[in-house]
Amino acid sequence: MSEQTQQRIDLAAAFRWAVRFNYHESIANHFTLATNDDGTEFLINPFDMHWSEIKACDLIRVDSEGNVLEGEGDAERSAVCIHGPIHRMLPHARCVLHAHPRHCTALTTVKGGELISLCQKAARFHGDLAYDDEFNRIVLDFEEGERIAGTLGNKRILFMVNHGVTVIGRTVADAFDKLYHLELAAENQVLAMSTGAELNPMSEGAARTVYQRQ
């Protein structure tokens, strides 16, 4: 099996699992995987296709401008404008998952809403979180995508205010594992906040130790 075939299989599986975990919004949101070293070409879901139906052969390969190099269909403009700059500007962003899972998104709608190291799942992201506090508009230009990439920087998790989250990883499995545990951590925090009781975060040292062992 060729590397590109395996990449397609892995990315298609991520879409199917996202549906199982209810991370999807029908045809909205986007997952991508870079296929060359400089991140100027990547696999992406074709616009107007429900995530539950996406197969490896359905994925399209596009360049950083959104031109289709392989496959049938078109890439959503906002997907290209967000993912293109991230892949191109951040070498560690091989796989980029952008979604609106309910608990992560809930945190982005709370004033000062940040993920706190309340549990071990949350602590695994300690020091690896970036926050974009500017919801300017739906992303339809590369300038805004470059701003988002700059905000993400060397981190691997970006909470986007009033929007959702973007998670990056070395591989599809690496990125999806992060997204899975991130949503669980956010769910735990939302439940804890809903009790109205005082939150009990880990110490800085304990959280750092958990993160370093991941």
**In the predicted model, is pLDDT for residue 206 greater than 90?**
no
Residues of the chain above pLDDT 90, percent: 83
**In the predicted model, is pLDDT for residue 109 greater than 80?**
yes
Return the half-sphere exposure (C-beta side, CA atoms, 13 A cut-off) of residue 162: 7
What mean pLDDT do residues 64-90 have? Answer: 95
Query: Are 77 and 122 within 8 A, CB to CB?
Result: no
28 falls in which pLDDT band (50, 70, 90)? Answer: confident
Residues of the chain above pLDDT 70, percent: 99
Q: Which positions ≥6 away from 178 have C-beta within 8 Å?
A: 125, 156, 157, 167, 169
What mean pLDDT do residues 97-115 have? Answer: 95
For the beta carbon of residue 6, count every other beta carbon within 10 angstroms: 12
How far apart CA 128 and CA 214 sit, in angstroms, is 12
Task: Give me the pLDDT at residue 146, please.
Answer: 94
**In the predicted model, is pLDDT for residue 141 greater than 90?**
no
Geometric angle at alpha carbon 201, from 164 and 178, rounded to 5°: 40
**In the predicted model, is pLDDT for residue 136 greater than 70?**
no
160 falls in which pLDDT band (50, 70, 90)? Answer: very high
Task: Give me the pLDDT at residue 140, please.
Answer: 74
**E-strand spans in the chain?**
30-34, 41-44, 60-63, 68-70, 95-99, 129-132, 157-160, 164-169
How far apart CA 21 and CA 19 sit, in angstroms, is 5
**In the predicted model, is pLDDT for residue 137 greater than 80?**
no
What mean pLDDT do residues 81-106 have? Answer: 96
Return the half-sphere exposure (C-beta side, CA atoms, 13 A cut-off) of residue 104: 27
For the beta carbon of residue 112, count every other beta carbon within 10 angstroms: 7
Query: Are 145 and 139 within 8 A, CB to CB?
Result: yes
What mean pLDDT do residues 194-202 have? Answer: 95
Residue 42 pairs in a beta bridge with 34, 62
Instruction: Kindly report, residue by residue over 165-186, the tens digit of the pLDDT.
Output: 999 999 999 999 999 999 999 9
